[in-house]
Amino acid sequence: MRFVMPNRQIRIGERSDAARSKVTALRAQFDERPLVLTTPGSVNWITGGLSDPVDITATSDAAWAVETKIGRTLIASEIEAPRLQGDFDLDSLGWNVVSVPWFDASAPLRAAASICGVTPDELLSDSDAFGRNISPSIVRERMVLSEPEQAELRSLGALAARALEAGIDGWQPGETSDFEIASVISRELERCGAKAVCLIVGGDDRLRSVRHPLSIGAVLHSAVMAVVVARRGGLHVAATRSAVTSADDPILELTEKLEPVHRAVLRSSLPGHGWGDAVEALAKGYENIGQPGAWREHFQGGPIAFEQREFELAPTQTDSPYWDLDCLADTAVAWNPSLRGGAKIEETYLVSNDGFELLTSSGAWATTANDGGMQHSQVKVVQ
């Protein structure tokens, strides 16, 4: 008996079909050698999001996906293979399934080589463990999102915004702890099938002195910030929300000061630029507000989709394989410029040829003025 919701099966099929044409084009660049995907991001890209993680910290997925000229196969342990076959109609999705012993670490690799009829060294992969690692090429292909993937990301973005805002809106200054706010955010995500793979909630003096004030059970009195990276169906969105109790709080002025940095990096993420251009614009933006080198103090974000960020890039990393990569339409970005003292701007946007679509919006919080879609949620003043 299969338990998967019919609409989820349809969405997975649509996403998988869209990804397959990209996989075919990708393999054509490498003489159509067999491809074995092992990481959660890559597996969920090629399968359309059917592989929910058993361990959200694992770098290797519970299933490996094998793509060859003659077909597609999922390799999973004898624990997980029956679950996948029971939860999904894999035949209609075009997947064969091969199960291997969970206690034999080399069994998946042997199975992949056997399915493909080649030695492990001849396989294309997203891992250094075997074959030829073509991760940069994989990331370049999957960053440009298909229509079904964009639809999934819109839904997840709205959910993440609602969850963050529910947590902040439940804050009673002087009474509510950071643990309690975090629990509301997690609850709202998980009740809709998403998980917080990164969740930072903190406030007061710790927010004003450190970039990542992780929850410690402290009751918050004057300021709170909540940051989330939410994942569902293999896709990610990121967003931040902040609130203060006084209209004179310095966080409000700092956030306004940060605005030009946020807009500068977004403008340079439009088609016609490269990702190196974007991080250079980010660095220049900090210089223009009198904070040269501030990008060194905190990870600045970037393209997002099948990983929390598809790659990390700093202004010094001109030799990165992503430096000269073109910014393209239908890519999602989540930059997160910040300033010491508690200011941070972070939203997830879908890039078009003309501007940006804000994905992490519930429609409930006030936003800055719309400038080509570059608006973001304002810091809320709680009376």
> Strand 96-100 relative to strand 338-339: parallel, antiparallel, unpaired?
unpaired
Q: Cα 197 vs. chain centroid, distance in angstroms? A: 9
Mean pLDDT for 134-160 is 97
**Domains in the chain with CATH codes:** 6-142 (3.40.350.10), 147-381 (3.90.230.10)
Region of residue 67 (left: phi > 0; alpha: psi -120 to 50; beta: else): beta
Q: How far apart are CA 325 and CA 58, in angstroms?
A: 28
How confident is the model at residue 4, as a pLDDT? 57
Does pLDDT of 326 surpass 80? yes
pTM: 0.96
pLDDT in tens, 82-94: 999 999 999 999 9
Mean pLDDT over each residue of the chain, to the nearest integer: 96
pLDDT for position 5: 60
The amino acid sitting at 234 is G
Mind listing the pLDDT tens digit for each residue in 22-79?
Answer: 999 999 999 999 999 999 999 999 999 999 889 989 999 999 999 998 899 999 999 9
Digit-coded pLDDT (tens) for 296-317: 999 999 999 999 999 999 999 9
CB 217 within 8 A of CB 234: no
Q: Are 302 and 331 in contact (CB under 8 A)?
A: no
- What string of H, E and C letters represents the secondary structure of the chain? CCCCCHHHHHHHHHHHHHHHHHHHHHHHCCCCCCEEECCHHHHHHHHCCCCCCCCCCCCCCCEEEEEECCEEEEEEECCHHHHHHHHCCHHHHCCEEEEECCCCCCHHHHHHHHHHCCCHHHCEECCCCCCEECHHHHHHHHHECCHHHHHHHHHHHHHHHHHHHHHHHCCCCCCCEHHHHHHHHHHHHHCCCCEEEEEEEEEHHHHHHCCCCCCCCCECCCEEEEEEEEEECCEEEEEEEEEECCCCCHHHHHHHHHHHHHHHHHHCCCECEEHHHHHHHHHHHHHHCCCCCHHHHCCCEEECCCCCCCCCCCCCCCCCCCCCCECCCCEEEEECCEECCCEECCCCEEECCCCEEECCCCCCCCECCCCCCCCCECCEECC
Digit-coded pLDDT (tens) for 265-285: 999 999 999 999 999 999 999
Mean pLDDT of 325-346: 98
Residues 169-194 have a mean pLDDT of: 98
Per-residue confidence (pLDDT) for residue 6, from 0 to 100:
72
Q: What residues pair up with 219 in beta bridges, in sequence order? A: 177
- Whole-angstrom distance, CA of residue 215 vs CA of residue 160: 19
pLDDT band at 1 (very low <50, low <70, confident <90, very high): very low
Handedness of CA 10, 14, 15, 20 (dihedral sign): positive
